[in-house]
Each structure stands twice: as C-alpha cells, then as structure tokens.
Amino acid sequence: MQRVKKILNDTADVVAETVEGLVLASDGTTRLMDGHRVIVRQPSAREAGRKGKVGLLVGGGSGHEPLFSGLVGQGLADAAVCGNVFAAPSPDAIAAATQDIDDGAGVLYVYGNYAGDVMNFDMGAELAGDEDITVRNVRVRDDVAAAPKERIDDRRGIAGDLFVVKIAGSACESCDTLDEAWRITAKAEANTRSIGVAVSAGSIPETGKPTFELGDDEIEIGMGAHGEPGVSRQKIGPADAVVDQMMAALLPDLPFERGCEVALLINNLGASTMMELLIANRRIRHCLDQAGVGVHRTEIGHFLTTQEMAGYSITLLKLDDELKHHLDAPARSVAYSRG
C-alpha cells in the first residue's frame, strides 16, 4: 500500500498545530484554552454582556476539518473540543470547556453518535455536574447507511452535523432556557438525513496509509466518515445513476414527502472537485423536483472532510418555520458564515 504524501511537521503535533493555525485564522474572534485543545469564542457571553446565555459545546475527533473546530463564533458554538485524529476528545477537556463557557444557564452538547464520543461527553457532563453545571446533549445520527430506521440510535453522525450545529447556535443565542434550546436542536437532528459515496480513501497522518482500499473502477455507497463500510461496493457508473441510488435511500427514510421544504447540503469529503459536486447538485435537484420537495437553500463545499478521501455526501434537513428561522439566523466563524 503506497504511503500518502502530506506536507507536515512531526505527525505527533498535527492536531496541536492545526488548532493553533485555525485560531490564528479567526483574527481574534477565538482563543485556545490553556492546557487543552479547546477553541473558545471571544468575547465570551459574559464579556459581551449576554448574561445567562445557554452555552453550546461541540466537538469530536480531528481530521474532519473544518468540523467541528471551524464552527466557533457568532450564532454558532461557544467552544469546540478537539480529539486526536478520528478519536474522541478527553472527558477532562470536555469538562474544562463546559466550565469555561457556562454562564449560569447550562450548556448544550452537540456531537456525532460514535461510541467514544458518547462515553467521553457523558463523562465530561458528569464532571461538569460536580460543579453544578446543567448539561443536555444532542447526538447527531443522520447517516441512513449506518443502520436501518428501526435502529436509528445505532446510526453515526456525518455532515448533517453542520445543520444541527447551525440551528443549535441560533437557539442557544435566542432561547431563555437550556431545555428550549435543546428542544429546537433535537428537532433539527430528528429531521436530518445524510448518505455518502467514496471513490478513494483518506489516511491517518501518523501512519501515512489509506484507511481502506477500493479498486480503480469501484465506488462505495454509504461509506462512513472514517472509512466505515457502506451498503454497496460496486463498479463506478455515471454521476446521475450514483445520485439516483443515494436519493432512493434518503427520500423514503424520514420520509421527505411531496410539499415539504428542505435545506440541501452537498459535502466534499476532501478531494473531490467542485465540478463533481455541481454535477451531483443538478441531479439531486431533479430528484427533489420529481418528488415534489422544495429547496429553501443549498450549501456546497467542504464541511466534514476525511483528510483526502474522494467523494461526497448528500444531506437533507426537513424544515418548518421554526427550523427555517434558526437556520437562516446570522452566523460567523472561520468555516461558515451566513447573514
């Protein structure tokens, strides 16, 4: 297996150096917490005079930039806690971040539904509870390929994290209570579905080796964000046929029904071209038109990557007036800005 080329320093320092570079790119709107790989919004709620704001903490393994580390800022997260590459952040870092951003109204956690993240965020919440901080969490489970609908709690979180974090950020800015911010965020998560396709693997910097192998003429439908197996490994076909197969899995799952309105996200897993994403978009819109589903807005680009994995994912968020309001609210961060 050929080694993947990357321009790095010591591979043991990739996460620390990535986080440092991201904070510098924020031009003073974020800071790095002392002693932890945690990116924190500044000014804080207290410093900005927003006493009693519900805090929003997001996070997960590194290697998926700009998620989650790039989503700290106005109308988004108050902090992001960064684990090692494809590994959950530590409970101590989660607890420290929770204490840092708590302003007396409690803290909402949003993260992907992976065993390590679930365990460590639960432990972090317990530690925060020892400091009398109330925590609630929303685990994103948008990947329809990871498990059947009757086992939705076994599904993993992929690019749908972006929409859930965006709505959570607005809710935490505007809601008076943690419970209300949680309700809106949980509704967004419950209405989000995604599926991915890969044509080549990403790699882990420490090993330099691809995380899986695909033949030159193969694709995998339903590939996970770390290279987890999908639902179908097959010969590569025309773009329209690939999109049709993905949409056939997505549309019935919620279901997305005639007359509903969605937000659409086409996420570059790392190394695909904008040409491929735009060609996919035209077919996705054809499928949605045929199904009678309207598109409120479209996001296309890098949001959740897997290093240099080539491929993309499609996410649909079913909207109502409340979710649309929070999705469209102003937001600004290094990786994502609206309004």
**What are the catalytic residues?**
64, 226
Nearest to 231 by CA among 125, 147, 323: 147
Q: How many CB atoms lie within 10 A of CB 99?
A: 14
- Phi, psi of 121, rounded to the nearest 5 degrees: -70, -35
Nearest to 76 by CA among 186, 179, 168: 168
Among all chains, which residue has been given the structure tokens 């996460």?
15
Is 103 within 8 Å of 57 (Cβ atoms)?
no
The two three-digit tokens of residue 92, written as one number: 């101590």
Angle between helices 274-291 and 239-250 (to 10 degrees): 50
For residue 111, what are the contacts with CB-CB under 8 A and spacing of at least 6?
58, 59, 60, 68, 117, 121, 137, 139, 140, 157, 161
SS3 30: strand
